[in-house]
Structure 1
Amino acid sequence: MSKHKKAAPQQRQEMSGVERLGLRVSSMINHPIAQTQRWVVIHRLDTDGEAEWEEVIGLLAETPELDLTFNDDGAVTVRWERSALQERDDFIIDEDNEVETEVAAPF
């Protein structure tokens, strides 16, 4: 008789809509181009539910270092000052990515 127990199969946990949207917004804000220009436009996708969108945008609006502009097309432009976010531990800023570019952000 074997003394080894079989490992229980791990169940894959699905991300919630808020987690998925939060991850997408965080990736957009932390993108090197967005960090260089210090702004990003966030568009609501068809897969973003109303409640999830309101929750994530509400969290951004409560962040004093961020300035939100609600655009006519439903998108939200997020702007920030470089020095304001450098002091925060929950925003990732890579100072080595100072690249001047005229290319539009990929989002």
Structure 2
Amino acid sequence: MAKKQAAPAARQEMSGMERLGLRVSSMINHPVAQAQRWVTIHRLDTDGDREWEEVLGLLAETEELELTLNDDGSVTMRWEQQEVEAEGRVEVGFEQEEEAAPF
């Protein structure tokens, strides 16, 4: 008895904008970049002019980001540590005082 095989799902290619956005997002979210609060983004040969300009435009519109255009064509992005909002409250990082042990 022969089994029917399901047709393989069609592979959907990512657009240049999606690929560049994913790469930039990955660089920003990298633990080292998060710790130092800056990252340098280099343009690859596969990044189209339109996609590169669009991503830089979106980043430039974000008030929390400071962009520096470097001589080699790369862009250094810096940001400050942000406040975290939880359940309607805003929490700011601070050093907690140690409490004496209850025993």
TM-score (norm 1): 0.70
Paired with 1:55 and 1:7, the residues of 2 have a C-alpha distance of 40
Match of 1:49 in 2: 48
Same amino acid, percent of matched pairs = 77
What residue number does 1:76 align with?
Answer: 75
Describe the SS at the equivalent of 1:28.
helix
Corresponding residue for 2:39? 40
Q: Quote the Cα distance in structure 2 between the aligned partners of 1:80 and 1:71.
A: 17
Q: Tell me the equivalent position of 1:94.
A: none
Output the CA distance in 2 between the equivalents of 1:8 and 1:62.
44
| Richer in strand (by share) | 2
- The answer for the alignment partner of 1:103 in structure 2 is none
* Corresponding residue for residue 20 of structure 1: 19
Secondary structure at the residue paired with 1:69? strand
2:9 equivalent to 1:10: yes
Question: Secondary structure of 1:26's partner?
Answer: helix
TM-score with structure 2 setting the length: 0.73
Residue identity opposite 1:14 in structure 2 = E
Q: Which has the higher contact order (CA 8 A, sep 6+)?
A: 1
Deviation at 1:8, TM superposition (A): 5.1
> For the aligned residues, what is the CA RMSD?
1.7
- Where do 4+ consecutive residues of structure 1 move more than 6 Å? none
